[in-house]
Structure 1
């Protein structure tokens, strides 16, 4: 990392690292959930008793819960960093074109209203 970075370059580099860390946690969570699902359904198809591997399944479920908590903390950190960048007037999107963020306090709805040509359908 270049020590003599300009503030916008620094903010963008940190934002990119944060985004990549979020994606890595999402991928790890998805993989862990898949593993748990495969192990549970595989037990039944293999004809094994319900107790077979239960401690391992329980530990994996706990790991998924812990990972989910860590993801939430990282999302919170992202929000704090975003607010700080806005307060300081930093351009934190130099390295992340096309990614949009909600405004502070904006609620994201699971079913956004259509816009453009889809709004007229």
Structure 2
């Protein structure tokens, strides 16, 4: 059980770093600037006022860009961060299971990976506000 806790601790730290670093990369300089630097999605108007809004999001942890549609009616929304958020949720779910087994066996150390996940998610959520 201690080996599993150690492995999950390492995975939790890595998943947390990927989550927070991904948000940093998605919003460095500014979310709006990153939207312009990424490829424009198909169906987006090509003009200086095409980007309607941009910002960091807490769910999924990433960046959302809202563009004016080329057709003139409606918008096109792009969202980053789904892949790393889903990966983080998988690691968090396994950490919850490990914490439950550790609690049953009275091993307080099994809760550490879960705490790492909660701290990383809290850091990303507070950054995205």
- Please identify which structure carries the higher strand content: 2
Q: Do both proteins adopt the same fold according to a TM-score greater than 0.5, normalized to the shorter chain? A: no
Q: TM-score, normalised by structure 1?
A: 0.44
Higher relative contact order (CA 8 A, sep 6+): 1
From the CA coordinates, give the structure whose radius of gyration is larger.
Answer: 1
